[in-house]
Structure 1
Amino acid sequence: MDLVTVPFLLTCLAIALVPGPTVAVIIDQSLRAGRGAGLATIAGNTSGLFLWAVASVLGLTALVRTSEIAFVALKFVGAVYLCWLGVQSLRRSRRHEGDLPTARRRERGLLASYRAGVLANLSNPKAAALYLALLPQFIPAQESVPYATAVLAAAQMTISSLWYAALVVVVSAVRRFLARPRVRARIDQISGLVLVGLGLRMITLGRAAT
């Protein structure tokens, strides 16, 4: 039976197109450190989705959906992390790069971007709800749950990664025109305010939003 249907693909595309914490973090990393950092952030986000898929098979995402304590804890962690990223961006707008060698700075930056993608995804209760509420709706009753989850999750990850990669390419192209220190400082300020705003918004996130 064909698991990856047109309605499923359209649903995944619609979810990917909706701006949220993941998009904000990817854009922030791309503007700050270029295309490589943006792609590393996407890889981190995909790793987080993989972990949520495994948790979905094991039934762990149900805990987030049914336990108020787990939901609030995850929401709080996500909000704190987004605010921390925002504050870091605001602080970065006030200082210049250090004297760290370019190769080491790039390597450290890619690892930091990957980590940012992972943490932004794992601390987002919407990601947990996605694999709990969305995927099961497209799994036939007679189908193996682990196999169907793997197939559908792979399709969803592919769609989101392709869309985010296209976004990174566009942002990277624009970044070339925004390389002046004063402009970059303004970009960091805007990114910081957006991330802090998203973090504060996550605090007010209710179950209806997931």
Structure 2
Amino acid sequence: MTTLWLSFLFAITILTLTPGFDTALVLRSAAAQGSRRAAATALGVTTGCLAWGVAVGFGLGALLLASEVAYATLKWVGAAYLLYLGLRLLLKKPEAVAEVAVETPAQQGMFACFSRGLLGNMLNPKVGVFYVTFLPQFIPAGASVPLWCFLMALAHMAIGLVWNAVLIGGSHYFSAHLRRPAVQKVMDRLTGVVFIGFAARLALSRH
């Protein structure tokens, strides 16, 4: 059991450190909106991992693996959401970019940041398929599947929060420069292209 748990922690840590949509989303939030809102975004992303773990533990994740319709539906909804985020950044007017530096909590609430991270994770069926194929490898014979899936997803969430804290902390030192309107404009365009790329990758992925 100890060997399985250590193997899981090693594997999930490596996967967490691998850059992806979640990393881009958190970094963009840190640069544009500050550490508190970036933390809310990171909490949303990692809460999505926990939710997927619970879903897989109770067999809901297996539906994505078995049903082409369920997988395709969630895939296209997720791709559309990522495309929306990307286009929104690409089409943002220069005036809106300049206002980011003085954005108030009322304009961009913590819950909105949390929801963006949560939806970005939950609307990606590849996360569910990954969990349903990855987690069972580390569940001891005869153990409670829901409990172990929950504990492993919780561990993934904790590791993700620590890694995101490192990313947010690192961006803090450059926040004054990153929030300059000219820099923000470039970052929004680049991040928008990245989001659209992830949308295309998800849309073209196979079951």
Query: TM-score when scaled to structure 1?
Result: 0.88
Higher mean displacement: 145-154 or 39-48: 145-154
Amino acid of the residue matched to residue 49 of structure 1? C
Task: Measure the CA separation in 2 of the matches of 1:88 and 1:11.
Answer: 34
Change (3 A) 1:109 1:91: farther
- From the superposition, tell whether residues 101 and 125 of structure 1 become closer, same or farther in structure 2 (CA, over 3 Å): closer
Residue 188 of structure 2 corresponds to which residue in structure 1?
A: 188
Residues 1:61 and 2:61 aligned together: yes
AA partner of residue 104 (structure 2): T
User: In 2, Cα distance between the equivalents of 1:6 and 1:134?
Assistant: 14
Question: CA separation in 2, counterparts of 1:156 and 1:87?
Answer: 30
**8 Å Cα contact 2:12/2:156 also seen in 1:** yes
Report deviation, 1:79.
Answer: 1.0
Matches of 2:136 and 2:48, distance apart in 1? 19
One-letter code aligned to 2:95: R
CA distance in 2: counterparts of 1:16 and 1:33, whole angstroms? 23
Structure 2 residue aligned with 1:172: 172
Q: How far does residue 103 in structure 1 lie from its aligned partner after superposition?
A: 4.1
Q: What residue number does 1:199 align with?
A: 199
Judging changes above 3 Å, is the alpha-carbon distance between structure 1 residues 167 and 4 closer, same or farther for their aligned structure 2 residues? farther
Instruction: Structure 2 unaligned segments of length 5 or more: list them.
Output: none
Mapping of 1:122-133 within 5 angstroms?
Answer: 122-133=122-133
Deviations 1:156-204 (A, max 9, x none): 1111221122112222322322222112111111111111111112111
What residue is the counterpart of 2:52 in the other structure? 52
What is residue 118 of structure 1 aligned with on the other side? Answer: 118
Count of residue correspondences: 204
Q: 1:141 is paired with a residue of what secondary structure? A: coil
1:76-108 CA distance string (max 9 Å, x none): 11111111111121233522339x983423xx3
Deviates more, 1:171-180 or 1:27-36: 171-180
Tell me the secondary structure at the aligned position of residue 140 of structure 1.
Answer: coil
Q: 1:65 to 1:183 in 2, by over 3 A?
A: same
Secondary structure at the aligned position of 1:95 is classed as helix
Using the TM superposition, give the Cα deviation of residue 60 of structure 1 relative to its aligned residue in structure 2, in angstroms.
0.6
1:104 maps to what in 2?
106
Aligned partners of 2:65, 2:58: CA distance in 1, in Å?
14
Cα gap change, 1:152 to 1:84, in 2 (>3 Å): same
Percent identity at matched positions?
34
SS in 2 for 1:76: helix
Alignment of 1:90 with 2:90, yes or no, is yes
**TM-superposed deviation, 1:4:** 6.2
Measured in 2, the distance between the counterparts of 1:166 and 1:23 equals 11
Correspondence for 1:35: 35
Instruction: For residue 3 of structure 1, report the CA deviation from its aligned partner.
Output: 7.4
Between the aligned partners of 1:42 and 1:30, the Cα distance in structure 2 is: 10
AA matched with 1:87: L
Q: Does structure 2 conserve the Cα–Cα contact (< 8 Å) formed by 1:75 and 1:125?
A: yes
Letter in 1 for 2:106: R
Q: CA RMSD, aligned part only?
A: 2.0
Cα pair 1:3 1:151 within 8 Å, conserved: no
Contact 1:21-1:195 at 8 Å conserved across structures: yes
The farther-off stretch of 61-70 and 160-169 is 160-169
8 Å CA contact 2:4, 2:139 repeated in 1: no
